[in-house]
Amino acid sequence: MKKFVLGLICGVGLTATTAVYAADTIQAYLFPAKFEVNGQNKEISSEYTVLNYNGHAYVPVRFVAESLGLGIRYADKDNVILIMNEPTNVDEVTKKVWLVQYRITNGVDRNYVKGLLGEPSVERTNDDSQQAVWRYDISPTQGYKYDDLNKIDIKGLEQGDIKAQIFIHWSNEGKVEKIELWYKKDKWIIVNYLYEDGSTTDAIYE
**pLDDT exceeding 90 applies to what percent of the chain?**
43
What DSSP element (H or E) covers 186?
none
C-beta of residue 20 within 8 angstroms of C-beta of residue 28? yes
In degrees rounded to 5, what are phi and psi of residue 137? -100, 115
CB 28 within 8 A of CB 58: yes
Look up the pTM and report it: 0.76
Q: What is the pLDDT of residues 111-164, one digit of tens each?
A: 999 999 999 999 998 876 788 999 999 999 999 999 888 899 999 999 999 999
What local confidence, expressed as pLDDT, does residue 187 receive? 87
**12 with 18: CB under 8 angstroms?**
no
Averaged confidence pLDDT in the chain: 83
DSSP structure string for 71-140: EEEEETTTTEEEEEEPP-S--HHHHHHHHHHHH--TT-BHHHHHHHH-S-SEEE---SSS--EEEEEESP
What's the maximum distance between 2 C-alpha atoms anywhere in the chain? 63
